[in-house]
Amino acid sequence: MAITEWMIRGPEIAACNCAYGCPCQFNSLPTDGTCRAAVGMQIEKGHYGKVKLDGLRWAATAAWPGPIHMGHGEIQPIVDERASPEQREALLKIMSGQDTEPGATFFNVFVSMCDKVHEPMFKPIEFAVDLKSCVGHIKVPDVLDVKTEAIRNPVTGNTHHARVSLRQGFEFSEAEFASSTIKSNGPIALDTSGRHAHLANLHITGHGIVH
């Protein structure tokens, strides 16, 4: 079946309840056996068919009662309120894993492991990130607040920077690993501090990561 060609490129923040490093990145089980996460992105350049997505933002919260690959999760999509009706439809199709080769993107994988996708929210989304310092934030008023900073050495307090490269990733090829705080008052409640985050420049199509 033919798919609508799409592409998004720009910086991403992803944060979860795992210890620094997130065992999932290494095909290991999550730190406490569950996965609860928040993610957001600034699309610097993007399109869905002929619909331009440049400058828009999206975010999501998600939770699984066990490892992601065991399923039974839930996800809350959040779309930039500035998006036109056509752009909203385009972003939701991308975020729901449609027009994507099976398993080619984290959108497709994560949604396929969910029993419930909540009704999308259309909200203002604040997003800023500096990959060099690992300082960043995602904020959706009254719904989500994510902050990231560099991991700190527990003895000296000095910043500790780690970068991970994945040859066969479905989200990123390379990312900076950091520390996060997440607060969410939405349908998926999140409340973590001093846990994993990764910051990356994404470049993804319905066929997977662009290398």
Residue ranges per domain, the chain? 6-204
Is beta strand 121-123 parallel, antiparallel or unpaired with respect to 57-64? unpaired
Helix (H), strand (E) at residue 52: strand 51-52
Summary mean pLDDT of the chain: 96
Is beta strand 144-149 parallel, antiparallel or unpaired with respect to 135-140? antiparallel
pLDDT in tens, 43-82: 999 999 999 999 999 999 999 999 999 999 999 999 999 9
Q: List phi, psi (to 5°) of 94.
A: -65, -50
CA pair distance 151, 136, nearest whole angstrom: 13
211 C-beta neighbours (distance < 10 Å), count: 6
Q: CATH number of the domain at 6-204, please?
A: 2.40.400
Q: Is the pLDDT of residue 156 over 80?
A: yes
pLDDT in tens, 93-148: 999 999 999 999 999 999 999 999 999 999 999 999 999 999 999 999 999 999 99
**Average of per-residue pLDDT across 149-163:** 96
Token reading at 132: 């060099």
The identity of residue 130, as a single letter, is: D
pLDDT on residue 186: 85
Percent of the chain with pLDDT over 90: 96
Q: Is the pLDDT of residue 23 over 90?
A: yes
Token reading at 37: 């996460």
Q: What is the DSSP string of 75-108?
A: EEEEEETTS-HHHHHHHHHHHTTTTS-TTSSHHH
- Please tell me the pTM assigned to this model: 0.95
pLDDT on residue 1: 56
pLDDT on residue 135: 98
DSSP code, position 142? T
Q: What is the DSSP string of 161-191?
A: -EEEE-TT-SS-SEEEEEEEEEEE-SSS-EE
